[in-house]
A and B are shown apart, each in its own frame.
Chain A
C-alpha cells in the first residue's frame, strides 16, 4: 500500500475502508468507489483493494466488485489474473444465479489473460441444466467471438450454439439466436473473412420451424431477436412464405411496439413471396390497426413508428387510406412528431378527406413554432398540387393566411403559390394582385424570387409589372443571387411579352447584371440573354418562354430499390432515417457490406441499384438537366458536363472551331464556367429550364426525386438551342 499514491485524499481513505475489518464498512467503501467511478474519477489504483472483497457470500457486494472489475480489467490485466480463480470457482457454484453472474462477467472482462481461462467454464455452462445459466452462456459466446474469434471456432462453440437452437427453453433459443446473429454480423463485416465465408448463421428450414415454435413462447425481446432472424430467411416457395406470414401475424397484437414493428418487417419481406392475392390483402388489412395503435405510444416510439409508416405508405398507399384523422397533430405533441404527421397527412390526402385536412392545416398555420407553421403551409401547397379538385380550396386557404399579414406566413404562402402556378398555369390569376400587394412584406430570398417569377410569368396580365420589377431592378446589386437571377429572367420575359414598354428596364437590368454583379452565374445568364435578344428575339422567345412540364408530387421520397431495402429494415435506424445503414454506421462497413451483398447474390437489389446508377449517369449526360439541385446522386459537375458536351457531334463541331457562329462564345463561357468559375452548371440555366436552378430550393419538397420526364424534355430543348445556329 505504501507503494501506491500519497497517504491522503479520497482514494487513500477508500483504500483504508476497503481493507477494514468490518464487513459493512468494506461494502460501503465499494459503493463509494463505484460512485466515484461513475462520475469519471480514476479509481483504478484501488484495484487490489477491491479485488480482496470479491470472495463473499453477499451477492450484491459480488455484483459491485464485478462491476468494478469490468471497468478496469482492461487497464490492469496482470491483476485480473488474481480474480480468475474466484470466477472459475463461481461457475461451479450450486446457485445458478452465481454461476450465471460469473460467466456473464467473465465475458465482459475483455482482458487477454483471462480469456484463456474462459473456455472451460463456458463449455460447462453451455451444457448447464439450468436454463438461466445456458441463456447467459449463449450470449457469452458472442462476447468471446468479439474478443477472440479463433477461440470460438477452435472450441466448437458455434456448433454448440446451433444445438442450443433446439433447446426446450424459449429464452435460451432467443439468446442463442441473438448471439448467432451478432457473430454472423461481426464475421461478415470483416472484409477479409467475408469473401469466402457463407456466414455463420445460415437459417435452414429445420431452424425456421424451431424459431416459429419458440416465437410464441419467449419474452418480448426474444421475439424481436427471433423475428429479425426470420426476416433473414429466404423462403423456398410461396407455400413457405405464406406459412411464415400466417405464423407471424398474431404478433401484431403484442403490447411491445418493437415486436409489432419487427413483425411488420417480417411480413413485408415474406409477403413478396406470397402469390395469393387475397392473402396479401388480408395481411395488409391486418397491418393497419396495430400501426395506428403505435400512435398512442410515448412520443419517441411514436416518432419511430411514424417514420416507418411513412415508408410503408410509399410502398402501399392504401394501408391507412381511411385513417387520416388519427394523424391530426395534438397541440402538445413534440415538434418532431408533428412534422412527421404532416408529411403522412399529405400522403393520405384524397378528395374525400381534403376538407378536414385543409381546416387542420389552417389551424396549424396559426401555431407558434415558425418551422411547423411553414411546413403546414407547404403541406397546403402539396395538397393543391396533389389533388386537382381541391386546388381552389387550397388557394382560398392560402389567401386567408396571407390576410393575417404575419411576415413568415405570407412569405411561405407566396413560395407555395408559385408551385401552384406551376401546376395550374393561368388558373388563379385573380390572386396575383393580392400577392403583389404584399411585396413589402417579403424579405427572404426564396419568397422574393417566387414572387418575381410569378410576375415574370404573368407579365402580360399584370398592368404594372414593369413598375413592380423596377423595384427589384433598382435594388439589384443588393439582392441575393437567386433573386438576381429571377429578376433577370422575369425582366426578359416582360420584354418578350411587352417589348414596347419595357425596352428601358431590360437594358438597365442587363447592364447592371453584366457590369456590377459579382456572381458569375448572374453575369453569364445576363450575357446569354443579351446575345439571344440581340441576335434572334424569336429564338429568345422559344427559349425563355418555353413550355414547362407540370410538377407533381412523387409517390416516393426514396428510389424504389432503396425503398425495398428499407422495408426490409423496418424498425431500425435505417428506416427511421430513410437512408441505407452504410451511410451512418461507420466507414469500415461500407466495403464489407457491398461485398456481402455481392456474395449472398442479393441480385434483385444490386441489379436495381446498378440500373439506377446507369440512369443517374444518363441524366448526367443531359446538359440541360439543371434539376440536379434536387438530385443528390450522380450530379454532373460542371467539368464533367463539358466533357460530355464534346462527345455530342454538334457540340464537337462547335468546339473544333469549324463554325463561326456566336455560340462559340457561348461554349467558351460554358467551358470556362465548367473549368472552375461556376460551381454548378447553373450559369447556363438561364437558357432552357431556368426555373429549375433558381427554384431549386423552392421546388425541392415538391420534387425530391428526379422527375423522369424532365431530362428528356431538357434534352430536346438543348437540341433546340443548338439547332438555332
Chain B
C-alpha cells in the first residue's frame, strides 16, 4: 500500500504532499529531492533507500511520487500514478506545474477520494466528477437522494454509470484507433510490426442500455461460418474496460456490457499478423568521406487511393557534428533542426498510391573523435483516416434497453503512428 503521495516540480519543490500513513514524516520529501530530482543519472523508476521505496513517474515538468515502506504491489502503484495523471487531465485539461498549483484544493480532494489509508478507491472519472467539482458544493444544497445516488454509484456493481441518464437522441460513437509499431531494418526487412489498437466509445444512451459489440474477430467468424463477411482479424490479446463481462468473453468471445455515460475506452487489443503498413519509406543514406552525408528518402503511400495520410512528419537523424543541411523536396516542407540533430520533413497530406522524395545533403564539421555515428532510426508520424492496419472492422453494435428506443451508431477508423514507426538506415 501507498504510504505517502507527493507531487514535485522540476526544481524539487513540493507542490502536493499527502501522507496516508504515519510511517513517515513530511521530511521524507527531502530525501526524494536529493536522491532523484537533483540526481542527473537516475536509472530506475523505483528507488529504494533503506526500507523506503520511492516510485516516480515523470510527466511534463512534474514528478508524481508514491512512497511505501512495505513490499508493495509495484504494478498497482504505477497504475495508480497514471490513473491520477489521467484524472488530472480530465479535470484540468492538462497536468503541469501551473495547473497543479491553480487547483491544489481539488487535487487534495481527489487524492483523498481515490485513496484511503494507502488503498486505491473508486477512480472512475465520470463518477468522481459527479461529486468532486471545481465549484464548491454546499452540503445542504444536495438533496439526500442525490447524494445517496452518488454513493451507490461510487460503490455499486455498475460504479461507472448513473441510472437516470436521459438523451433526446440516442447516439453512440465508436472510434477505432490503431497505433502501428514498426521497426524496419536497413535492408528493408520488417523486424517487428504490430498494432496496438484501442476502441474509444462515446455513448449518449438513455437508461441502462445493454450493449453487444461485434468485431471481425477471426475466432468468432471461423466458429460461426456465416461466410461472406470477409476475412477475420487475428487478435493476439484483448483487454476490456471494467464494464465488459470478462466471463462472457472468456466463454464465447462475446463483448457485452453496460456502457458508462459519455466517453470511455471500451477495449484495447493487439494484433501482429497481416499488419498492413500504410507508408513505405525507402531511405538511402551515404556518408561521403567525413565531411558530408547524402540523403535520398522516398515515402510511398501504400493504400487505397481514395484515402489519404495526413500530418506526416519524418524525423531524419543527422550526425552530431552536422553543421548545416540543404534539403530539396517537391512535396511538403523540410527543415534542418540543429538542436535535435534531425531534418524534419512535414507533409500535410499524401493521397493513396502517391510517393514523394526528399534529397538532402548534410555537411559535417571535422572532429577529432573517432566515434562512429550511431545512426538512430528515421521516425515517421502520420494519421490515416478510415484505415485500420490490422484490418479490423466493427461488424455490429447492438443496444438493448427496456424502453426499446432507436439508437444511431457511428464508426470511425484511424491508424496512426507517434514515435513508434521507425526505419533504420
Contacts A253-B246, A300-B45, A584-B51 given: A131-B144 contact, CB under 8 Å? no
A256 within 8 A of B: yes
Residues of A within 8 A of B50 (CB): 586
Cβ-neighbour of A169 out of B120, B138, B148, B156 (below 8 A): B156
Distance between Cα atoms of A38 and B9 in the complex (Å): 13
- In the bound complex, do residue A59 and residue B73 qualify as a contact, i.e. CB atoms below 8 Å apart? no
Can you give 8 contacting A-B residue pairs, CB < 8 Å? A59-B139, A63-B109, A108-B117, A253-B246, A254-B246, A289-B236, A356-B191, A573-B48
- In the bound complex, do residue B117 and residue A336 qualify as a contact, i.e. CB atoms below 8 Å apart? no
Residues of B within 8 A of A574 (CB): 71
Task: For A582, give the chain B residue with the smallest CB separation.
Answer: B71
Q: A133-B151, A142-B117 are in contact. List 8 more A-B contacts (CB 8 A).
A: A57-B139, A98-B139, A216-B245, A258-B73, A300-B55, A325-B192, A336-B45, A585-B70
Cβ-neighbour of B137 out of A60, A290, A330, A569 (below 8 A): A60
In the assembled complex, the CB of A40 is this many whole angstroms from the nearest CB of chain B, namely 6
Residues from 55 to 70 in B contacting A, C-beta threshold 8 Å:
55, 57, 68-70
Distance between Cα atoms of A15 and B156 in the complex (Å): 43
- In the bound complex, do residue A130 and residue B191 qualify as a contact, i.e. CB atoms below 8 Å apart? no
Cβ-neighbour of A132 out of B13, B142, B154, B372 (below 8 A): B154
- In the bound complex, do residue A38 and residue B76 qualify as a contact, i.e. CB atoms below 8 Å apart? no
- In the bound complex, do residue A40 and residue B14 qualify as a contact, i.e. CB atoms below 8 Å apart? yes
Task: For B153, give the chain A residue with the smallest CB separation.
Answer: A132
Distance between Cα atoms of A492 and B76 in the complex (Å): 58
Contacts A96-B147, A363-B424 given: A59-B136 contact, CB under 8 Å? yes
Task: For A134, give the chain B residue with the smallest CB separation.
Answer: B155
B239 within 8 A of A: yes
In the assembled complex, the CB of A548 is this many whole angstroms from the nearest CB of chain B, namely 35
B305 within 8 A of A: no
Residues of A within 8 A of B104 (CB): 34-35, 38
Distance between Cα atoms of A310 and B89 in the complex (Å): 33
The stretch of B169-177, B215-223, B351-359, B373-381 in contact with A is B373-381
Main SS class of interface, A:
helix
B116 within 8 A of A: yes
The stretch of A43-51, A218-226, A387-395, A417-425 in contact with B is A218-226
Residues of A within 8 A of B154 (CB): 132, 171
- In the bound complex, do residue B151 and residue A304 qualify as a contact, i.e. CB atoms below 8 Å apart? no
Contacts A110-B22, A258-B73, A366-B372 given: A298-B78 contact, CB under 8 Å? yes
- In the bound complex, do residue B48 and residue A95 qualify as a contact, i.e. CB atoms below 8 Å apart? no
- In the bound complex, do residue A254 and residue B139 qualify as a contact, i.e. CB atoms below 8 Å apart? no
Distance between Cα atoms of A404 and B374 in the complex (Å): 11
Closest 8 interchain pairs by CB? A132-B151, A289-B237, A586-B51, A581-B71, A258-B76, A250-B246, A258-B75, A221-B120
B1 within 8 A of A: yes
Contacts A170-B157, A255-B242, A330-B183 given: A293-B270 contact, CB under 8 Å? yes
Cβ-neighbour of A254 out of B45, B124, B239, B376 (below 8 A): B239
- In the bound complex, do residue B370 and residue A216 qualify as a contact, i.e. CB atoms below 8 Å apart? no
- In the bound complex, do residue B44 and residue A293 qualify as a contact, i.e. CB atoms below 8 Å apart? no
Residues from 96 to 154 in A contacting B, C-beta threshold 8 Å:
96-98, 100, 104, 107-108, 110, 130-133, 135-136, 139, 142-143, 146
- In the bound complex, do residue B376 and residue A331 qualify as a contact, i.e. CB atoms below 8 Å apart? yes
- In the bound complex, do residue B45 and residue A303 qualify as a contact, i.e. CB atoms below 8 Å apart? yes
- In the bound complex, do residue A57 and residue B185 qualify as a contact, i.e. CB atoms below 8 Å apart? no
Cβ-neighbour of B53 out of A35, A182, A228, A573 (below 8 A): A573
Interface centre among B137, B194, B196, B237 (most CB of A within 10 A): B237
B406 within 8 A of A: no
Distance between Cα atoms of A630 and B26 in the complex (Å): 40
Distance between Cα atoms of A328 and B108 in the complex (Å): 41
- In the bound complex, do residue B192 and residue A97 qualify as a contact, i.e. CB atoms below 8 Å apart? no
Task: For B108, give the chain A residue with the smallest CB separation.
Answer: A67
Residues from 430 to 473 in A contacting B, C-beta threshold 8 Å:
none
Residues of A within 8 A of B377 (CB): 331
- In the bound complex, do residue B268 and residue A293 qualify as a contact, i.e. CB atoms below 8 Å apart? yes
A215-253 near B? 1/0 per residue, CB < 8 Å: 011011100110010000000000000000000011101
Residues of B within 8 A of A217 (CB): 157
Interface size class of B (residues with CB under 8 A): 35 or more
Cβ-neighbour of B121 out of A27, A61, A221, A305 (below 8 A): A221
Contacts A169-B156, A292-B236 given: A249-B250 contact, CB under 8 Å? yes
Residues from 1 to 44 in B contacting A, C-beta threshold 8 Å:
1, 13-17, 21-22, 26, 29, 43-44
Residues from 143 to 175 in B contacting A, C-beta threshold 8 Å:
144, 147-148, 150-152, 154-157, 159
A645 within 8 A of B: no
Main SS class of interface, B:
mixed
Residues of A within 8 A of B105 (CB): 31, 34, 60, 64
Residues of A within 8 A of B76 (CB): 221, 224, 258, 262, 571
A277 within 8 A of B: no
Distance between Cα atoms of A35 and B101 in the complex (Å): 9
- In the bound complex, do residue A304 and residue B75 qualify as a contact, i.e. CB atoms below 8 Å apart? yes
- In the bound complex, do residue B44 and residue A569 qualify as a contact, i.e. CB atoms below 8 Å apart? no
- In the bound complex, do residue A178 and residue B249 qualify as a contact, i.e. CB atoms below 8 Å apart? no
A724 within 8 A of B: no
Contacts A34-B108, A98-B139, A300-B78 given: A130-B151 contact, CB under 8 Å? yes
B419 within 8 A of A: yes
Residues from 1 to 52 in A contacting B, C-beta threshold 8 Å:
27, 31, 34-35, 38-40
- In the bound complex, do residue A253 and residue B48 qualify as a contact, i.e. CB atoms below 8 Å apart? no
A428 within 8 A of B: no
Cβ-neighbour of A250 out of B137, B249, B265 (below 8 A): B249
- In the bound complex, do residue B239 and residue A290 qualify as a contact, i.e. CB atoms below 8 Å apart? yes
B307 within 8 A of A: no
In the assembled complex, the CB of A127 is this many whole angstroms from the nearest CB of chain B, namely 16
- In the bound complex, do residue B116 and residue A139 qualify as a contact, i.e. CB atoms below 8 Å apart? yes
- In the bound complex, do residue A58 and residue B136 qualify as a contact, i.e. CB atoms below 8 Å apart? yes
Cβ-neighbour of B71 out of A135, A139, A585 (below 8 A): A585
Cβ-neighbour of B74 out of A175, A219, A571 (below 8 A): A571
Residues of B within 8 A of A110 (CB): 22
- In the bound complex, do residue B44 and residue A336 qualify as a contact, i.e. CB atoms below 8 Å apart? yes
B396 within 8 A of A: no
A244-287 near B? 1/0 per residue, CB < 8 Å: 00000111011111101110000000000000000000000000
Residues of B within 8 A of A97 (CB): 131, 139, 147, 150-151
Residues of B within 8 A of A170 (CB): 157
Task: For B160, give the chain A residue with the smallest CB separation.
Answer: A219
Distance between Cα atoms of A35 and B13 in the complex (Å): 13
Distance between Cα atoms of A579 and B65 in the complex (Å): 23
Residues of A within 8 A of B363 (CB): none
